[in-house]
Each structure stands twice: as C-alpha cells, then as structure tokens.
Structure 1
Amino acid sequence: MIDKQQLIKRFISYVTIDTESDPNSDTTPSSAKQWDLANKLAKELKDMGMSDVSIDENAYIMATLPSNVEHDVPVIGFISHFDTTPDFTGANVKPQIVENYQGEDLVLNAEENIILSPDYFEDLLLYKGQTLITTDGTTLLGADDKAGITEIMEAMKYLINNPQIKHGTIKVGFTPDEEIGRGAHKFNVEKFGADWAYTMDGSQIGELEYENFNAAGATVKVNGKIVHPGYAKGKMINSMYFATEFINALPRLETPEHTEGYEGFFHLYSIDGLVEETTLKYIIRDHDKDIFEARKALLEKVVFDLNTKFENEVFEIDIKDQYFNMKEKVEPVMHIVDIAEEAMKALDIKPLIKPIRGGTDGSQLSYMGLPCPNIFAGGHNFHGRYEYVPVESMIKATEVICKIAEITAEKYKG
C-alpha cells in the first residue's frame, strides 16, 4: 500500500518551493529558483537508492531503477516537470488539507472571500469522502506538475521497498521550463535510454492521452504614428485602433472560451499598446494538421488584406511553430497506450482516453524519438488560485506507475 501521509508530506515539500518559470529569460532553467527543487529531487533519488542519478547543467534530472528480472524487457520511462506556470504566482504557497470532503463550498480565503465551490467547479463532486489539497486562494498550488513528480518518486520508492513486484529497467526524468514550452528542448533522449515513456502530467483520475494540439505562436506588430493630438488630423495613425481591426477580423467564436474537444482556436493572450506601436500576441491551436496550417494561413491573409485596405504596411506578423500532435508518433506503437489502459483497469480505474487541449513534454519528446503518452496526475483547475488535487487520485496514479512496470515485465516474459 502507498503511504498516504508520506505522499502528502512529499507533495507539500515540493509545492512550497517556488519554481515559477520565466518566459522572458533565455537561460535554462529560465529561473534560478528552479534549481532549489531540482537539487532536492536529485538528492532524494540518490538517498532512496536509485542508480545513475544525474543532474546536468540545465537542471535536467535522470535516474534509473535497474531491472529485477532475468529476461529482456523494454526500458520504460516516467517523466514530469518541476516548474510552475508564470500565469499565476507560485511564491509562498500555503496548501490547505481538507479531510473527508462532502461536496460543500470550501472557503479558501475568508479575508478575500475566495471560495472553491462545486456550483462552479462541478468536478469537486467526484471526490466526496476524499482528502483534498487546495490553495489558500492567493497562489496556485503547483500540482501541475509536482503531483506527477510526487507520484513518480513514491512509485520508485515503493518498487525499491517491494522487490517481489517484478519489473524491467525503469528510467525517471524531471524537466524544467515545461510551462513555457521548453521542457523537452534540451532533454537528452539518447542518454535517457528508454524505448518509450509516459508523462505524468494529466488532470482528472483516469485520463490517458496520446493526442494533443498542434501549436504555434504569433506576434502581430501594428505600426502607428504619433503627433500632437491637437494637430493630428490626417497625420496621426493610432496603432491601437488599427489593432482592433485585426482582432475583429478573426472568428470571434473560435477562441478558448467557446471551444472544446477537438475544436481548435485563436487565443489573444497579450496586448501591449501605445499610439506609435501595438503588439498582439496569439497562440494558435488545432488537433487537425491541415486545419492548423489553415489557421496560420488565415492570420497571414488578414495581415495582407488589412495592409491592402489601408494602403500602408501597418501590420507585421511573425509565426513560429511550437509543437505538434504526438498522435502521429504514438499510433504506430499503440501497445504502449494499451499497457497503460490495462494497468488502469487492473486497478479499477475507468480510463478516460481523450485529446489533450494543450501540450506536454511528451508531445515534443515523441517527435524526438521517445513515444510518450500522458497519464493523469490528479490535479484540477491548473494555473490559478482554485487549483486542487485529491490525494486518493495521486495514490492511484502512483499505483498505475507500478502496475505499468509490472505488466510490461510480464508481457515480455517470453
């Protein structure tokens, strides 16, 4: 049995370390404070008896649990990231533990009247009778993805302490900067040495994902001209007004708040404007590769059409691909998804196989030669003050890791 209190203690020790990544930094890791948790994890891996523990100059951590069977078994890996999103503060996280949750509203912060309510977050009702870990309403929690790290660490400890569970060689990898899209950029797949891996970076219990968005980022620069407003007629070009022309030229309902499932979107996430210059930043997402390419082409066309309309080079655009749908790389080796599904069913977990409306390290790693589906880590409402994780989901995720290792060894017994 997984030790519930030990798991909680480990998780809290991780989330109370600030590891927010910084998209404006060119270093790896992007923030020096990520080293605080990285070094802690490397030490803990060594202390628990893992082999070949390494932490490189970019804070990528790898370790090995040697096989305890004599027959050949494919090498499998489990991967999570230790940074947290810059979307919301991860400093001074003060987790709150709610025992035996019964479906009531949870007052996260009475002073600021911040309430976690099942009236708004209906998934809470799935966890009646369970232990929840929440924020205090002023920070995120960091279950994305310190829940995944906790589960991998607890699973390795459990397998080490229970050698009667037979398994092949298992690799563990922890990465920085996943939240800013760089988690796999400097991951050494050859050094890792796994035939396939799983990221423990999903949400609700049962999630099993091998499809994700194709993703790109777009920066639209709108050029204006500033003159004295008292003498501006026929001379001033207010870039902010022109920027609204671009915004309104895109399909209004193809945005995150109006889409679900396989539906893609354009997401305007930043505006920085003055009369002289306005910058719009978008992310473009779609599961379908052809529609994804069409979305990028539409942005280019809008820029062309608006520049033609205003008879001026007012608009400039720069589009960069970020990652692609891992489905293309996982489908040829679908047995790795089947093994995870079998593990869940063996533990009485209903698999929820669905597309990721986002990306993981696994999407990039799959294109780097390491097929890498994604498994639930248990958290909900990531990237904000309403984030929470049921402890029982974390225990189940830990058990799934152990069961995948056991099933893989059994399948290749010969």
Structure 2
Amino acid sequence: MINPNPKRVLIGICGGIAAYKVCEVVSSIFKAEVQVKVILTASGREFITPLTVATLSRHPAYTDADFWQPIHTRPLHIELGEWADLMVIAPLTANTLGKLAYGLADNLLTNTVLASHCPILLAPAMNTDMWEQVAVQRNWQQLLTDRRYHSVGPGAGLLACDRTGTGRMAEPNQIVTAIASLLHTNGKRDLIGKKVLISAGGTREYLDPVRFIGNPSTGKMGIALAQAALSRGASVTLVHGVLSAGISELGNPQLQAIPVVSAAEMQQALLSEFTTSDITIMCAAVADVKPSVYSAEKLPKKSLPESLSLAPVPDIVAGLGSIKKPHQKLIGFAAQTGDIITPATEKLIRKKLDAIVANPVDEIGSGFGSDRNRAIIISSSGKQQEIAPCSKLEMAHHILDFLPLL
C-alpha cells in the first residue's frame, strides 16, 4: 500500500570518502516509503555522482549549478527548506560544520539550512586529528546547543587515512534509525534530564556449564526502547541478557550497558540502578524457574536426570513495584498467547505497575525475534491504547508517547 502522506527527508552530502555510505541511507529510507531528495555539495560530487543519488531517490539531485540558475518560480533553497520534514547532513565535514556553527551560507546546502525550520541530523566524518582540533570541537559543541540539531556518531575505527581513531561516520543503519526516530518525534526532546532504566533480552538458568533453561528473546524490543529514549534526550541504562545483535552500534555516550546472564544477576543490576531512575521499562524475558541443583562440571549424558527438579527465581518486576517511589514510573511487558488483555491486566495490578504492554507472541510478525510488533498498552488507571503492527522502534516511541498519560 502506498503511503498517502509520506514524510520528506532532504539529505545533504558533503565531500568525504564516507559519502558512498549515504547511498545505502537514501535507498533504505526510500524503501520505507519516505520521500527523499539530495543536495550534493561541489566537493560531494567528487565522491559520488548526481546520477547515482537521483536513481536511488527517484528525484533529481540538486547541486550548486541548480542554485545559481535564473529563478523561474521561487528560489530553490526556499522551496527545498520548506519541503523538508527533516534534513540530514552526511558526511558532515569540518568545513560545513564551521559554516553551520557561524550561520554562514555560501552554497545551496548551507542556504537551505538557513531557509528551513525542520530538525537537522548531523553525521560527522573526518580524520581523527581534524575531529580533535580545538576549533572543530568548539564548533561542534556550539552547534549542538541549538535544539534544531541532532547528532549520530562519529564512531571509532579504521579510517580511510589508515588511522584508527574517532571520526568514522556512523553506519547507514544507525543513520536510518536516527532518521526514523526524528520523523516520529519531529525532534522533540521530552526526556532530557530523565534517567530511563530498561531491561532487555532473555536470561539463562544453567544446569551445568553448557546446558540452560532459556527462551527465544532476542532483545530487539529493548534495544529499540533504548534507541527511542536516547533520541528523546534521556540518559539510558540498559540491563541486558543475551542479545541477537551487539549494542555498540547504538554509539551514544548517554548509554550505559550492563550485561547479565541469569535472573539473579539481572535482579542485582536492576536494584542497584532502580532508585535513581525516573522511568523503568521491564522488557526482558526473565526466567520463571531454574534448575534447583547446578553442576560445576558438564554432566555426562547418562547422568542427566530423567526429571529436572526446578526452583523459582525472584519476581524482579514485582520486587521493583514494591519499592517504587511516587515520582517513578514502572512499565512492564506481558508476552501472551490467545487473550492478551486479561492476564496482562492481572499482572499490572499484582505487580503494582503504572502500565503494562501486552503483546502477542503467537502471531506471525509479532513477538520474539521479529522486527515488528503490535501491542495494547494498559495503564493502572484503566486507559488503553492499541498499537497497530509497526516496527519495534516505532512501537518504542508509541510507548514513550504514552508516558504523560500515567
């Protein structure tokens, strides 16, 4: 189905070897039914061609040659600035960074920035020595004081100059995720000054060093919640079990990650962080039971018990609910089959939660391992909000949008 009201993203590509990665960004957001147009600076054209980005975006690529043409309708930079719901500048060079910091405009891209009012996502890329220059850092910090500007990266790694260090442009998937968040929030930073505590992934309860009781949780929903909260200005602590993908790609200094394995380890980590959190979202799939006896050595197959004696593990969510302060918000998850509302509501009340997210795990395209999800959010006051099938990042933002109702 074609989106009747697609979002509009204007991407500015500056001169840098990382420009080739932006082609993947253009392609990805077009496939997500977002309208995308591209401005190539003069130096950007040295790395990729207008034909390349025009083909990927299905729109003509704009260059300074277009900017200086006689005006037949309205000025191009005005039209583009008013058209965009979001601007992205990637790679952002030291030169363009300096211009933006001081409000200078000498080409189509910088003039369009000054003629627009939408949020702007910046993805810097440059040599480590250039990035670490006092003047560059001053410009960077000055620019980020403007609420219009949002950042992704830079990361650290092997650079085109064969140097290993900070200055590597964020990977395309990171940029696409940041774009998706900003299109949802329109740049809103409603969680600045808030500490958000999130649990994610599944726990493992070991019988011996190689065998365990576990579940199919991948942690994708918890990572999406962390991404959404970070994009809205929160400081995030992510206590996570085994994940399907690493979290280094989140690349945000406002993120603290605490890896755990068992339910007991998760409980200890969460209790140590809970008292200072404003919002806690319990997304992890925590074991309900564990083997009552643990063998420090691998049990031979012939020694495995015919029936496994089990012991309960502490109910982490209920424990947090019992010590929650009035200013704190505690949100739980209920992965259910069949009727999802009745058991979720019972859990909401019994565990003293402010809200619970009930989601089906017996539907295709929802629940464990999926990139998409659907749910019903239920508050302790009885409010309900249905979240139609969507990406887990979008669902994370819907959950955060629900917080003011609690």
Query: TM-score with structure 2 length normalisation?
Result: 0.23
Query: TM-score with structure 1 length normalisation?
Result: 0.23
Q: Which has the higher contact order (CA 8 A, sep 6+)?
A: 1
